[in-house]
Amino acid sequence: MAEQILELKAFSQVTDARWYPRYHIAPPFGWCNDPNGMCYYKGQYHFFYQHYPYEPRWGPMHWGHVVSDDLAYWKHLPIALKPEEAYEKGGGCFSGSAIEKDGELWLMYTGHLQASPEEAEAVGFPHIEFQCLAHSEDGIHFKKSEKNPVIEDIENNEVSINDIRDPKVWEHNGKYYAVLGSRTPDMAHGQILLFESKDLTKSWKFKAISARSDGNLGGMWECPNFAEIDGQDVLVFSPMDLRTDDGKFYYDKVAGVLIGKLNYNTGIFKHGDFQYLDKGFDFYAPQIMETPDGRTVMIGWLDMWNVDMHETRDGWAGQMTIPRVLGVKDGKIISTPAKELEKLRKWKPITLENVVVDEATSFEGVSGEAYELVLTIDAEKSKKFSIALRASELEQTVLSYNSNGTFKLDRTKSGEVINGMTSVREIQIEPKDKLKLHIFVDRSSLEVFINDGAEVLSARIYPKRTSQKVIFTPENGVLEIDSLEYYKLDFGIPHPHIKDTLVDVTKEFPFLNK
């Protein structure tokens, strides 16, 4: 343990705050990816995430942990789970979820046993995955179940034992259910498995392959979540290697939903077509939860696999989206910013109405590196226009719109080049008289909500600190802005970066000194 702490201190230094977010959840040091275990317990929102605390790269997974009273302001807590058991050897404590039972908070997660090269050659596979439990009386300190793994052997020749992970657990009519991501042994079809238990802590049994890819919808389905939203059963998941009907990759890895009905007797989920939750560059493995007032809130990983993450040079890697509220309208999924984020509006807003722009224009005070921008634009009169964010003479991230419904996000000149995927994302939206944009900009991220959440685009960017302008440019006639609201946003998660100096986070997080 002493050696681990020394190693942690060696890597727990953040050297530059240029890209570290002001109000998005990010690790105080090291690496983070998938959201885990988001829940409401004893009057607070708990949020966990996949975490490697020793370096800003993927490694044996731990569970990082933050907590909030209001979904706007968060604080870091000690690491919740560490890979210390035999069933977690090599890979760690993979993703999962949380549920309250008898006053305790239970985490259900995947133990990922990584084989050595010699073992892999002998048995024919690189890893095997098990489902495990841990519980806590205070929501901070967790004890792993002596019965782990609680889901181990699955006698079904249509299920790969190598990839079965990321349990989402919930209670329904006195029984406990869990969906897990999986694939077929030939890697051709991603699928969701449903398990059932009478007591949560033991006696889990396989019920059904609840849903499966038809061959185009990915070869592995990860990070499933399940909820009833606006009277509809909604399965949230992240397919890997998604293909479009013409056989081309649209994205390598994405996140989306199937809307339908789960038959609890058979375990079969009948559903409609796949719908994207976010069509930007960086959105994966979202986690959902129900708030005390009945809303379904979602947070996703605001990054993507196998692309440049330039913040690793500064001692950290990865961040989360803002909390989003999911809804179903006319059979379509919609996603809007959680209303609690308005608490971050600590300064007087800048508001404009009925503005006609006939040349490239910046408005006084509408600039910065961490803000919220709410726009309503007359789309009938504004035939074609662009909005440049985090802009300077050399850098800009550009949103553009054409009256035929083409909306484009271009980060070609956003700063540090992100290798691994294209720099332009173009989507079609339904043309309307008014175009509504709700934009969240942070130091190294952008989230764009279009027409009350009908479409969402998220992206990482790596501009210089001096690139702070917002420039509105009509490209065919004029740009008519019905209304503009600009809000500078507060720090949502305290961190030594507030002073923008070289910091050692062990001073801010004294539990690292234990």
For residue 253, being part of any structural domain is answered with yes
For residue 474, being part of any structural domain is answered with yes
Q: How many domains does the chain have?
A: 2
Q: What is the pTM (predicted TM-score) of this model?
A: 0.93
Asked which of 49-63, 113-127, 130-144, 490-504 is least confident by mean pLDDT, the reply is: 490-504
Do 155 and 277 reside in the same domain of the chain?
Answer: yes
233 given a catalytic annotation? no
Contacts of 132 by beta carbon, 8 Å cutoff, 6+ apart: 85, 87, 88, 93, 108, 109, 110, 111, 144, 145, 148, 149, 150
List, for residues 338-394, the tens digit of each pLDDT value.
Answer: 999 999 999 999 999 999 999 999 999 999 999 999 999 999 999 999 999 999 999
434 token code pair: 């008014």
Q: Region of 171 please: left (phi>0), alpha (psi -120 to 50) or beta.
A: beta
Do 159 and 224 reside in the same domain of the chain?
Answer: yes
Do 291 and 391 reside in the same domain of the chain?
Answer: no
Q: How confident is the model at residue 498 (pLDDT cuts 50, 70, 90)?
A: very low
Range of the domain at 329: 54-59+83-339
Contacts of 440 by beta carbon, 8 Å cutoff, 6+ apart: 322, 337, 341, 372, 446, 447, 489
Between CA 10 and CA 27 the distance in angstroms is 16
For the chain, what is the mean pLDDT? 91
Do 401 and 306 reside in the same domain of the chain?
Answer: no
List, for residues 6-16, the tens digit of each pLDDT value.
Answer: 344 434 567 78
327 token code pair: 């809804």
Q: How confident is the model at residue 59 (pLDDT cuts 50, 70, 90)?
A: very high
Between CA 61 and CA 102 the distance in angstroms is 28
**Beta strands per DSSP E along 18-61:** 30-41, 44-52
State the catalytic residue, choosing from 34, 233, 241, 482: 34
For residue 4, being part of any structural domain is answered with no
List, for residues 17-57, the tens digit of each pLDDT value.
Answer: 899 999 999 999 999 999 999 999 999 999 999 999 999 99
Asked which of 258-262, 432-436, 492-496 is least confident by mean pLDDT, the reply is: 492-496
Do 390 and 471 reside in the same domain of the chain?
Answer: yes
Between CA 87 and CA 103 the distance in angstroms is 27
Residue 120 and residue 126 in contact, taking contact as beta carbons nearer than 8 Å: yes
Between CA 462 and CA 334 the distance in angstroms is 28
Between CA 473 and CA 401 the distance in angstroms is 11
Between CA 173 and CA 225 the distance in angstroms is 18
For residue 506, being part of any structural domain is answered with no
Residue 489 and residue 373 in contact, taking contact as beta carbons nearer than 8 Å: no
DSSP string, 143-182: EE-TT--SB-----TTS-SSSEEEEEEEEETTEEEEEEEE
Q: How confident is the model at residue 244 (pLDDT cuts 50, 70, 90)?
A: low
The most distant pair of C-alpha atoms in the chain lies apart, rounded to whole Å, by 71
For residue 65, being part of any structural domain is answered with no
Do 286 and 416 reside in the same domain of the chain?
Answer: no
Do 193 and 271 reside in the same domain of the chain?
Answer: yes
Do 282 and 400 reside in the same domain of the chain?
Answer: no
For residue 173, being part of any structural domain is answered with yes
For residue 337, is the peptide bond before it cis, meaning its omega torsion is within 30 degrees of 0?
no
For residue 93, being part of any structural domain is answered with yes
First CA to last CA across the chain, in angstroms? Answer: 10
Task: Among 309, 339, 369, give the residue marking a domain's end.
Answer: 339
Beta-sheet pairing, 455-460 with 316-317: unpaired
Do 126 and 144 reside in the same domain of the chain?
Answer: yes
Mean pLDDT of 434-451: 98
Do 358 and 235 reside in the same domain of the chain?
Answer: no
List, for residues 188-243, the tens digit of each pLDDT value.
Answer: 899 999 999 999 998 899 999 999 998 889 999 999 999 999 999 999 999 998 77
Asked which of 32-41, 42-51, 318-327, 498-507 is least confident by mean pLDDT, the reply is: 498-507
Residue 304 and residue 421 in contact, taking contact as beta carbons nearer than 8 Å: yes
CATH of the domain at 124: 2.115.10.20
Asked whether residue 436 carries a pLDDT value surpassing 60, the answer given is: yes
Which pLDDT does position 128 carry in this prediction? 86
The more confident residue out of 115 and 462 is: 462
CATH of the domain at 398: 2.60.120.560
Do 182 and 306 reside in the same domain of the chain?
Answer: yes
Do 285 and 140 reside in the same domain of the chain?
Answer: yes
**Beta strands per DSSP E along 16-154:** 30-41, 44-52, 62-68, 74-81, 90-101, 104-114, 127-136, 143-144
For residue 508, being part of any structural domain is answered with no
